[in-house]
Structure 1
Amino acid sequence: MASTRNCIIQWSRGSVSSSFRPPSQCLRASPITQQTRNAAVLTGSNSANAAKYKRKELSTAQKKKKQRSTFVNHDLKDMEQFALCDAMRYIRAFEVGSQRNPKYELHVKLRTLKNGPVVRNRLRLPHPVKTDIRICVICPPDSKAATQAKQAGAVLIGEDVIFDAVKEGRIEFDRCICHVDSLPKLAKSGVARILGPRGLMPSAKMGSVVKDVTSAVKDLTGGSEYRERMGVVRLAIGQLGFTPDMLQKNIKAFVDMLKKDMAAMSDRMNKELHEVVLSSTNAPGFSLNGEFKSNGGVQPKELTAA
């Protein structure tokens, strides 16, 4: 009681004198209070550390989560599929009033691994979709190959003239082929960094470095290139005015070529056809069931007359 009374007296004096400071023994917390505070601090730090380690464990678990090695392919058993004539009928209905020149597009989904070689090739369809392709032929300007290229319908022929135009940014052609005699000069011209990203650089692997210029130009006129991307191969397969017979021949030629391409790489990777989808520029996709026409559906004559 005496110590308490002394503290009260000193506090009352401190109200008069501003320089007074209460003794430390009066402000000192009790041992029980101090232990409670220390426990709270330790508990808070432990919970923070626990949360931090928990986050690390979650991130590690997420990193260790196994990713899919193949692309997602949905089951076709419960999916509605269409015959070719029925799909053409619906697509034409979607394209009514279209201002552009719409085309049929074919999307072939593959069962394949994500990491591996991709299907890539060029095909001349029985009924070409695009016939106004501008073809450039790199060959000596006064050679026999230049004469053949001009007769075959090439729009740009030569060597230095083409190289200078490309370097200036004037790329006025859609396809480019090179004669074997001009290949060394093409390699030294420095146009590969310009034509390469655009897919126009001649390559022996793609068959655009040739000896017979005439046949190469004819193959490119109306020819179509395709490449697998994300497990899907896309190709413009026909004009909207094509008859069902014309479109069927183009689809068959394209699918047969794809099967040959996949068979050629079977020793490196197994690829299989999963689904064939027909669409157009503005219409949605219609999964094909492999039939030409359905019972009770639209007849080919009706689409031919349209």
Structure 2
Amino acid sequence: MTAPTQTRPAATGSGSKGTLLNRRKKAGRGEGDIAEKGGLVWTTVAWVATLLFFAPVAWMVLTSLHSEADAATNPPTLFSGLSLENYSALFDRGVGPYLINSAMASVVSTLLVLLLAIPAAYALSIRPVEKWTDVMFFFLSTKFLPAIAALLPIYLLVKRIGMLDNIWVLVILYTAMNLPIAVWMMQSFLAEVPKEILEAAEVDGAGVLRSIWSVVVPIVTPGIAATALICFIFSWNEFLFAVNLTATVSSTTPVFLVGFISSQGLFLAKLCAAATLVSLPVLIAGFAAQDKLVRGLSLGAVK
């Protein structure tokens, strides 16, 4: 008589494993569905926020294509009488010298800031001086003073040396204004440079200047681009010193924009056209350096 084979426990074990596997698959699919729905929600939120931020810019560009009569209507007429008349009127009014002055003051001051900030940040990060944190706080504390508080002494000094309505005064002021934040940013970027690379350069006989130019600068190029763009934007948009220290010869584009708000009224369409034209250099610079800008802003984020 043959003994009965006991196959039920084995079948039960494999069945429980299969059930557990199916449950895990269902749980994984459920988590994947939740993650997918969450990603869709955040994507929608990001698009809505982008459209909300872009709406005023689109409205400004659209208003610049209207006549003054259409721009002043309430509610405004959106798509009536679109033309480039306001832009041609800007050049007839002489916007060219203002753009040249702004470009000169912004570009030259940004270059001077980088030439001074990179060696200073090198000394504070890669070759730190004693109590370098106090030095960094001193740089940052210079931004605590409101610009309006320093306007009168600067005006009297500039008038005394006979340099009112001179573009080089703005270059010097913009350099001094942007240097602290540039040093602060570059210090965090240069702190990410591996010191082993600099030691290897020293073994090969590279001096300090050669190490900065040939080793440090190529590594922190994204950080330099981010710093340069921020300094350029601050200089391009500066209004307080430009309107008080310059008159006509060396005035910049922010001063030119104020000219459309006069006792005769607000020339809204021409003001929007001028604002659109003035915004283009910054947008072009940001678009050209967008890849380095994203890398640069995240380069010194985590120490």
TM-score tier by shorter-chain length is: under 0.3
Q: Which has the larger radius of gyration?
A: 1
Q: TM-score scaled by structure 2?
A: 0.25
| Structure with the larger strand share | 1
TM-score, length-scaled by structure 1:
0.24
